[in-house]
Amino acid sequence: MSRTETPRRGSRPGRAGIRDVAAAAGVSITTVSDALNGKGRLPDATRSHVREVADRLGYRPSAAARTLRTGKSGLIGLTVTTYGDEPFTFTEFAYFAEMARAATSAALARGYALVILPASSRHSPFDVWQNVALDGTVVIDPSDDDQVVTELMRQGLPVVSDGRPSGDLPVTAWVDNDHEAAVLELLDHLADAGARRIGLLTGTTTDTYTRLSTTAYLRWCERVGQDPVYESYPAHDPCAGAVAADRLLARPDRPDAVYGLFDPNGTDLLAAARRYGLRVPEDLLLVCCSESTVYASTEPPITTLSLKPRRIGTAVVQLLIDAIEGLNTGQPVEQVIPTELIIRTSSQRRPPRTTVSAPRSPSGD
């Protein structure tokens, strides 16, 4: 563009506008708008073509223009209402950090910005939230009778839950793992590795993840004829987790394998095992649910259950934005994301050493 040329209104130098996308895709501006917003009756091929062109040109919808056009702010919230007395305790855990990163990217790809909101405050969380004009909210691991979810839905805001809601808790949609199947798989893995008394570190909260995982453990114990061996603690308190790990390994019916439901449990159990002179994996097999890469380099490396938070973060945002833009049928939407057991040394019993003697020389040599 020459110095005397007047730039188009609403465009920035180096930034593609909706007119640029329409010209490059060979379609109208209305078609571009419908394709990117998921509206209109467009062929799938046209919608995909427009989105590919928009991505190639680096086009992002104008939030200000959309607000004027639709009355939407372009802001969606994300929070955890179950864990922690401090507002942002949950951000310290690898699961939530990965989930939030994926959710942020998914939101930006559809022209929205993600706002991470405090889990709690000294006053009602709505004292903080009322200053943020949200189009909808993602809530991670809501508890039974979650007042935040209930109030948001009462206000007419769509709410998508990361975690299957229990009871009559109203949500627009939810995304979760099959926690029962995941726990049964890892317990069978430990049993196959030689464990005869498997213990559990679990939480005291009423969120679905904790409840379903603990219930699956108890049912597995009943199925195989093992007495349950478990300790519960407030999952948001790291000191309580270390104490619970110590209690579990100090029991007279001490387990020979343990599954910890929460991120710090692997290091807590490893430290407790060392205090009691237990070798991992020879004396004690360990598995914990975590997304942290630290467990690949502990001594020994610890087996972890991954809940795939990146996939969940992307899915919850897509469902929430679909609800905001009226793209779903109005019925609750449910998605189940598969888990992955990442097997490392801590859950594999080492075979006993055998001494192989050199073959004897033939007689007379």
Q: Which of 6, 62, 3 is nearest to 29 (CA)?
A: 62
Distance CA 167, CA 262 (A): 23
Token look-up 């904790």 returns: 210
Spatial separation of the C-alpha atoms in residues 178 and 336, rounded to whole Å: 7
- Percent of the chain clearing pLDDT 90 (strictly above): 48
CATH no. for 179-307+342-347: 3.40.50.2300
The ranges assigned to domains in the chain are 18-59, 75-177+310-338, 179-307+342-347
Tokens encoding 124: 């009602």
**Alpha-carbon distance values, 353 to 29, 181, 280, 282, 350 (Å):** 72, 34, 16, 12, 9
Q: What is the pLDDT of residue 289?
A: 97
**b/e map of 99-114 (b: 16 or more CB within 10 Å)?**
bbebbbebbebbbbeb
Interior CA angle at 80 toward 108 and 182, to 5°? 95
Greatest Cα-to-Cα distance within the chain, rounded to the nearest angstrom? 105
Q: For residue 45, with 0-12 CB atoms within 10 Å meaning exposed, 13-18 middle and 19 or more buried, which class applies? A: exposed
Q: Where are the beta strands (DSSP E) in 29-86?
A: 75-80
Per-residue pLDDT of the chain (365 residues; tens, 9 = 90+): 333 333 333 444 456 788 888 999 999 888 887 787 666 778 888 888 988 898 888 886 655 555 545 566 789 989 887 655 555 466 678 898 899 999 999 999 888 999 888 765 444 555 566 667 889 999 988 877 777 787 777 778 899 999 888 767 788 899 999 999 999 999 999 999 999 999 999 999 878 899 999 999 999 999 999 999 999 998 877 789 999 999 999 999 999 999 999 999 999 999 999 999 999 999 999 999 999 999 999 999 999 999 999 999 999 999 999 988 888 766 668 899 999 999 999 999 865 444 444 444 445 44
Check: CB of residue 261 under 8 Å from CB of residue 210: yes
List the 303-306 sheet strands across, edge first: 229-233, 198-203, 257-260, 285-289, 303-306, 340-342
The CATH homologous superfamily to which domain 75-177+310-338 belongs is: Response regulator (3.40.50.2300)
Measured between alpha carbons, how far is 268 from 181 in angstroms, rounded to an integer?
Answer: 25
Torsion sign (Cα): 350, 185, 225, 279: positive
Q: What whole-number distance in Å separates Cα of residue 363 and Cα of residue 360?
A: 9
Other C-beta atoms closer than 10 Å to the C-beta of 179 total 25
SS3 for 321-335, per residue?
HHHHCCCCCCCCEEE
Do the domains at 75-177+310-338 and 179-307+342-347 have one common CATH topology? yes
Q: For the chain, report the end-to-end CA distance as a whole number of angstroms.
A: 95
